[in-house]
Structure 1
Amino acid sequence: MSCYEIEALRLGLMNVLGTSDRSAREHAMTELDGHLDGPIEGLATATSLAEVERHLDAALVDLEEEVAATDPDDPAYDYKRGRLVAVRDAERAVKRLTNQGEHVLDGLGDAHDVLHETFPVDD
């Protein structure tokens, strides 16, 4: 078994951040071989944090359904539950990243306004 959601998330974040680590991309693509469809594909090909969040949410729904449909006596059950915990944690990390980015943008806007208030431009 593999953590498809995590590998797809890594690819999506590499896209968003402009990371060009060929080795990491190839590893993730190998892990995802045969599983690039639905939210996993959307997550792996995301180009914005908004897309990452949307596809990660959909992947979580699918994973929750998969865990719910698995018999607790199935040897894979605990792994699937662990995967669910890891993906939920990743979802919180992505939300923090988005919030931090928004705070940076707000701060830049404030700095811009203060600069113009301090040094008015006459046109």
Structure 2
Amino acid sequence: MACHEIAALRLGMMNVIGIDNEAEKQHELEELGPIGLDHGPLKSLTEAATMGELQQYFESSLTLLEEKVSQMSANDKKLPYYRSLLVMTKKVELDLRNQMESVKRLYEDLEEMHDFMHEIYPAN
């Protein structure tokens, strides 16, 4: 099976959140195989350095996956797997979006709390 999008996302997440686990990295690189070395959204996803890049490159990789599935023959024995992969990656896309919104909300809430602290304790 080839869950390239998930493997690439995990590699990018390792960069963004600072996980330095060589065994996990090698596992995901093996999952990707040579496709992970190609240029394109998957390669970019493996090298993501920010949450914004993770989201952008993951969404781009899903576009390519959707195109691949749409071009598959109805008789292709791998079609059910790829359709399931589409469902799973859509769920991950939504989860990633929710995480981004949550972090942005935290960022905005910090400013509100900072302002509130100055209401209580005015700066001299």
Q: Report the TM range for the smaller structure's normalisation.
A: over 0.9
Identity over aligned pairs, percent? 32
From 72, 76, 90, the equivalent of 1:88 is 90
Structure 1 segment 96-115 matched on structure 2, within 5 A? 96-115=98-117
Deviation at 1:33, TM superposition (A): 2.1
Please report the TM-score for the alignment, with normalisation by the length of structure 2.
0.93
Deviation at 1:22, TM superposition (A): 2.2
Structure 1 segment 1-123 matched on structure 2, within 5 A? 1-36=1-36, 37=38, 38-122=40-124
Paired AA for residue 107 in structure 1: D
Q: 1:77-107, CA deviations, whole angstroms, 9 ceiling, x for partnerless residues?
A: 1111111111111100100110110111111
- Secondary structure of the corresponding residue to residue 34 of structure 2: coil
Deviation at 1:4, TM superposition (A): 0.1
| CA–CA separation in structure 1 for the residues paired with 2:99 and 2:12 | 13
Paired AA for residue 3 in structure 1: C
| CA–CA separation in structure 2 for the residues paired with 1:84 and 1:34 | 21
**RMSD, matched Cα:** 1.0
Unaligned runs of 5+ in 1: none
Unaligned runs of 5+ in 2: none
Please report the TM-score for the alignment, with normalisation by the length of structure 1.
0.94
Deviation at 1:21, TM superposition (A): 2.4
- Secondary structure of the corresponding residue to residue 63 of structure 1: helix
- Secondary structure of the corresponding residue to residue 117 of structure 1: helix
Runs of 4+ in 1 over 4 A off after TM superposition: none
| CA–CA separation in structure 2 for the residues paired with 1:113 and 1:93 | 30
| CA–CA separation in structure 1 for the residues paired with 2:113 and 2:75 | 58
Deviation at 1:34, TM superposition (A): 0.2
